Amino acid sequence: MRPLKHRATTEGVERMPHRALLFGTGLSRGDLEKPFIGVATSWNDLIPGHTNMRSLERFIERGVLAAGGTPFLFGIPGVCDGIAMGHEGMRYSLPLRELIADSIESVCRAHALDGLVLLTNCDKITPGMLMALLRLDLPGIAVTAGPMLAGDWRGRKLSLVRDTFEAIGRFKAGAIDEREVAELELRACPGPGSCQGMYTANTMACLTEAMGLSLPFCATAPAVSAEKLRVAQASGARAVALVRDGVTARRVATAAAFRNAIRADMALGGSTNTVLHLPAIAREAGVPLPLGEFDRLSSETPHLVNMRPGGDWCMEDLHRAGGIPALLSVMRGMIEDNPTAGGQGILEIAAAGEVFDGTVIRTPAEAHSPEGGIAILSGNLAPDGAVIKRSAVKAELRRFSGRAAVFDGEEEAMAAVMGGRVGPGTVVVVRYEGPRGGPGMREMLSLTAAIVGLGLADRVALVTDGRFSGGTKGPCVGHVSPEAMAGGPIAAVRDGDGILIDIPGRSLTVALPPEEIAARLAAWRAPEPKVKAGYLARYARAVSSAAEGAVCI
C-alpha cells in the first residue's frame, strides 16, 4: 500500500492541532491509522433521484467500516433538470457540473483524503463527480443511486417524458382532458430514482458501469431495491481495497475504457449529453477524445437496446433482462479488456453476463440498426460539429429539409410553437443558447416535447446551439458549433433559408453560398450578454465550445 495521503494531517507533533480537530469530530486514535475515505454525497430533498440517498449513505459507511476504513461524508449540490427545465433555472444545470468537480477537488485536497466514494445519480452531477475523481486521480468508485420504477395508470406504463412533458402538447391539441393530466402528473413518478428511460442520468450511470468505475448492476438496480443497498455496501468496501492496493482512478479510466463507454452508449441509444460529458471526463483523465471518435464508433456499433424515449423499454426492463453485464456479454467482440474498480476485468464481467430477455437486449444479428444511437453532423452550418440522437429519429425523417424559422432564444420558439405559428416543413432554429450565449447551454425538452405532443414531430425539425434532454426524440440537432455567441454560422441564418439535415450523409447545411455566409457574419455583432453578474457571467467568460465538452478553461 502506498503511503496514505491523510498522514500529512495526522503525523508529527506539529500536527497536534489537526489531530485535536479530528478528535473533535468523534474519531478515535485507531481511526487515524485507517484509510480516510471521503463519501461525496449529493443527497437532497429537491431531486427525486436523490431523496433515497440517506439509506445508501449508511450502507456505504458500513462497507467502508467493515473493510477497515474511516468514512467521511460531505455534501455536494444538485439540480433536477426536469424541475429546472423551461425557465431561468436551466441555465445552471450544465455549469453546476464544473462547480461539483471544483467542490470535490477542494474538499479532498484540503483534507488530504485517501480515497473516494461518489454517491450520485442525476444528469450533470455524475459527470461532475467523475471529473473530480479523475482530476484528483484518487482510488475511487461511483455509486449511482438507481432508476425510478415506471408509473402506472389503467395498466399503462408511465414515464416522466412521455407522460408529462409530451402530455402538455397532447392536452393543447385536445387529445387528453384535465382529468387525465391530473392523473398523469400524480402517477408518472411513483417514487425515488432517476427518470425511467435512457435519458441523461441513466445513460451516464450505464456508461460509468461500462467504464468500470462502478460495480456490476449498479446502473440498473432500481433505487427502491435491496440490491441497490448491497451494491452501496460493496462499493464502500471496494474503496478501501482500492486504497490498499494503490489502484487510482486513471488506472481504470483508460482510453480503452472511454471507447467501451462510447460503444455502450451507441448500443443503448443514449443521451446526446454524453457527447459533452465523456470528453470533459476524459480531459481530466488526460485521455484525448475528439468528437469524431463518437461518430467512428457509432458507425461500427449496432443499436441493441431500444429504450424510452425512442423505444418502449424502461430501466427496470433493462435490469430484468440482465443489466449492463448482459449488454456487454453480447458486445464481447466489440469491447476492449480493461481493469475495473471492482477488481475484475471488463471482459470477465462480460463473460459472466447473461441475457434473460432477448426482446430487450438484442444480439448484433437482430439489432434495431447496424449503427449506434448518436450521429455527429458537420457542414457549413456546423463547421465544428453538431449532435443528433439518430436512434430517436424515424428512418423516413433521417433526411429532412425545410425552411428556417429563426428564434434568438428558447422562450421565443416555445411561444411560436404553442401559438400555432410553426407549421409543417419548418426547421426551427434556436440560437444564442450555447455554453456562452445561454449562458449554460440549456436543455430544450419542454420545446421538443411540445412539438411531439402537438403532433408535429414528423413534420418539424429543430436545430440549436443549445442542447437537448436525453428524453428528446425526432429530428432535433443540438450542440451546433461554433455557437452563435462566438460568431458561428448559425448566427447568420435568417427566416426562410433552406436547411438540410442529412443523418446518413452526416451533414448539416444551410442553402447559402460561402460568400453570403461570410458577408452576413461580417455585418454581425454579438448581442449583449444575457447575464452580466454572478456565477453564470464568470462561467460564460471561461467556458469552451460544446465541441470540446463545454469545459471551463
pLDDT in tens, 33-50: 999 999 999 999 999 999
Buried b vs exposed e over 343-363: b needs ≥16 C-beta within 10 Å?
ebebbebbeebebeeeebbbe
C-alpha dihedral sign at 289, 353, 62, 47: positive
pLDDT of residue 87: 87
pLDDT of residue 191: 96
Number of H helices, E strands in the chain: 22, 14
pLDDT at 186 over 90: yes
What is the rounded distance in angstroms from the CA atom of residue 471 to the CA atom of residue 416? 21
Please give the CATH topology (third level) of the domain spanning 374-548: Glucose Oxidase; domain 1 (3.50.30)
- Residue position matching grid coordinates 484540503: 110
Q: How many CB atoms lie within 10 A of CB 201?
A: 32
Lowest average pLDDT, out of 109-113, 469-473, 508-512, goes to 469-473
Determine the distance from the C-alpha atom of residue 308 to the mean position of all C-alpha atoms in its chain, rounded to a whole number. Answer: 15
Positions annotated as catalytic residues are 469
| 71 secondary structure, DSSP code | E
Element (H, E) at 419: none
What is the rounded distance in angstroms from the CA atom of residue 297 to the CA atom of residue 306? 18
What is the amino acid identity at position 116? L
pLDDT cut 70: percent of the chain above it: 99
In order, the DSSP letters of 236-249 are HHHHHHHHHHT--H
SS (H, E, C) 150-217: CEEECCEEECHHHHHHHHHHHHHCCCCCHHHHHHHHHHCCCCCCECCCCCHHHHHHHHHHHHCCCCCC
Cell of 177: 382532458
Cell of 62: 458500513
Q: How confident is the model at residue 2 (pLDDT cuts 50, 70, 90)?
A: confident
Name the packing angle between helices 125-136 and 274-285 (round to 10°).
10
pLDDT at 127 over 90: yes
Residue range 215-243: average pLDDT?
98
Alpha helices by DSSP H, listed for 246-358, are 249-252, 255-268, 274-285, 291-299, 315-320, 323-330, 346-352
pLDDT in tens, 83-120: 998 889 999 999 999 999 999 999 999 999 999 999 99
What is the rounded distance in angstroms from the CA atom of residue 529 to the CA atom of residue 128? 25
What is the amino acid identity at position 57? E
Q: Among candidates 236, 277, 25, which has minimal Cα distance to 118?
A: 236
Cis ω for the linkage preceding 439 (within 30 of 0): yes
pLDDT at 469 over 80: no
Q: How many CB atoms lie within 10 A of CB 270?
A: 29
What is the rounded distance in angstroms from the CA atom of residue 109 to the CA atom of residue 249? 16
pLDDT of residue 474: 86
Q: How confident is the model at residue 7 (pLDDT cuts 50, 70, 90)?
A: very high
Name the packing angle between helices 255-268 and 200-211 (round to 10°).
140
What is the rounded distance in angstroms from the CA atom of residue 208 to the CA atom of residue 127? 9
Residue range 486-508: average pLDDT?
97
Contact predicate 348/329, CB 8 Å: no
Contact predicate 479/486, CB 8 Å: no
pLDDT of residue 169: 84
Q: Among candidates 142, 141, 137, 163, which has minimal Cα distance to 152?
A: 163
pLDDT in tens, 380-429: 999 999 999 888 899 999 999 999 999 999 999 999 999 999 999 999 99
pLDDT in tens, 472-494: 788 999 999 999 999 999 999 99
In this structure, the dihedral spanned by the alpha carbons of residues 195, 196, 200 and 206, taken in order and rounded to 10 degrees, is 130
Per the prediction, the chain carries an average pLDDT of 95
What is the rounded distance in angstroms from the CA atom of residue 93 to the CA atom of residue 440? 7
Compute the radius of gyration of the chain from its Cα atoms: 23
pLDDT of residue 273: 92
pLDDT of residue 103: 98
What is this structure's pTM?
0.95
Residue range 266-271: average pLDDT?
94
pLDDT at 148 over 80: yes
Q: How confident is the model at residue 453 (pLDDT cuts 50, 70, 90)?
A: confident
What is the rounded distance in angstroms from the CA atom of residue 161 to the CA atom of residue 474? 14
Q: Among candidates 289, 498, 296, 469, which has minimal Cα distance to 392?
A: 469
pLDDT of residue 338: 97
Q: Residues near 67 by Cβ (< 8 Å), separated by ≥ 6?
A: 236, 237, 238, 239, 240, 241
Cis ω for the linkage preceding 309 (within 30 of 0): yes
SS (H, E, C) 94-129: HHHHHHHHHHHHHHHHHHCCCEEEEEECCCCHHHHH
What is the rounded distance in angstroms from the CA atom of residue 271 to the CA atom of residue 502? 20
Please, where in the chain does CATH 3.50.30.80 lie? 374-548
- Residue position matching grid coordinates 438540410: 500
pLDDT at 436 over 80: yes
- 3-state secondary structure at position 148: coil
What is the rounded distance in angstroms from the CA atom of residue 65 to the CA atom of residue 34? 10
| 40 secondary structure, DSSP code | E
pLDDT in tens, 352-375: 999 999 999 999 999 999 999 899
pLDDT of residue 85: 87
Integer angstrom CA distances of residue 516 from 429, 484, 513, 522, 524? 18, 16, 5, 10, 12
Cell of 547: 465541441
Determine the distance from the C-alpha atom of residue 376 to the mean position of all C-alpha atoms in its chain, rounded to a whole number. Answer: 17
Q: In what order do the strands lie in the sheet with 70-75?
A: 70-75, 36-41, 115-120, 140-144
What is the rounded distance in angstroms from the CA atom of residue 250 to the CA atom of residue 284? 9
pLDDT of residue 376: 95
